[in-house]
Structure 1
Amino acid sequence: MILAPYYFNEKTNLSEQPYRNQKRRLEGRSIRDLPLYSQELLDRIRLPAERDLNDDPCWLRTYYDPSSEDSWGQIQDYIDTKIGGPVTVYNDSSLYNFGSNWEKIFLRAPQLLDNTCLFEEYEEYVEEALEEGIESESGDAQHAGENGYDPVEDENPWICFYSEYLFRLAAGHIYIVDEKTLASEGPDAGTVLVMWYDECGRAIRYYREEAMHAAEIANLAPCYLKDYACWDNAEIGESYEWGAPLGPPYGENRREASE
């Protein structure tokens, strides 16, 4: 039994792959197939950058107080000078003033939930990592130490076992410039929120990175980020915490799903 779809369908009552299902249903259709009045309406509702599917790194500004303009100017400069290729920047106070509700971007750009790296064997790909995590957790306590677990400093070693599983689950990641980023002072001032999310837009892991370094790592292919501190030290999203609907203990949940 594939466990990941079980979580999406049985525990959350959400489609396992909502964007891709809709995409397949509309396969071959184009905006130019719509009546002219519908095309004009769509042009007013959603910008080209919100409609087009691409592999560019995506940055989202969610805070627009006038006092934040200087701080944003510095972030924009990093984006312009540190990122070597195309980049998508969602920066419009009338459209993206989401505050802490960053996930509203998926209402305007649902294609962000589609991952061009996801292939037909995606479920098996994720399941393989989950199986390996369960096996390591149940049969080899030493494995935790080899993956950086310190029983004195760390409360629970489970993330050492399931890091690869969570990484494979991610449909994408986005760089969020929020109120904390643009604050003139504070521990998070000048840091960008790097957010990995699943196919339903739920946070899997998140980490605050210095803005200049965030712009530099945005040049990397997503698959390489798991080798960097931004992934290794990332916090766990609420839906994937221990005891949460999509979180561990996975071995116990697997037994329940099989009964």
Structure 2
Amino acid sequence: MDEVEVVVAHSERATLRVGDVFLKVDVDQARIDVEVEAMALAPVPTPEVLWRRPPVLAIAALPGATLGRLGGPSTGSPAAWAAAGAAIRKLHDAPLPDRVGGAGRGIVELAAELDKECESLVAQGVLSAGLVTGNRQVAEAALRPWTPVFTHGDLQIAHVFVDGGEVTGIIDWSEAGQGDALYDLATFTLGHEEHLDDVLTGYDTEVDLEVIRAWWSLRSLLVVRWLIEHGFDPFAPGCEVDVLRSRM
């Protein structure tokens, strides 16, 4: 019998792997609904849905391997990163889905959330006031009008599988919907700034690099406390706190 591998687990959801099947357990069925719908609409490779019995979604494993992970080395070639950029561009060029996704929060709402989180980070002694204030200033560039596109909404490098120079699939679509294209690009290159040029080669359109850097700061500021509270370590080398330090 195959072993059960815990891919990720916290109080809201868990993903297990048994052989060539991934089992996603989620207490919020709305997230699973979004994921299944988004995979059906996305014009890029996605995992096959094998079956669904709430609260579990079973999907087939993808060929290839991820480009790496946050805090670890990248195992992908420049061609693989460029192929990922091309796939992201194809997604962003697709017809808009009906819902607003995780990359689509409004400027006022996002600024209020960011200010509240920055205040909490300093008040609770999680990060120094200088580090928080400096990155809050950098993050300001992301708070601007943008044209909505079809975004993944949580496009971490661990969610993109490649084989050679080809993208074989993109997973974890629960935050998909209308959103800011540069949020996806920033999430994908978070902690791997050295591959941004390769990604943009494949993306093949001009982007505002200041906004991408702003999203690195903004996203990191917003998730540090959540990660700690859910058993992850944003202080690990190469992870979110190092990203914040690199912006200073």
TM-score normalized by the length of structure 1: 0.28
The structure whose Rg is larger is 1
Quick one: higher RCO (CA 8 Å, sep 6+), 1 or 2? 2
**Is the helix fraction higher in 1 or 2?**
1
**Is the strand fraction higher in 1 or 2?**
2
TM-score normalized by the length of structure 2: 0.29
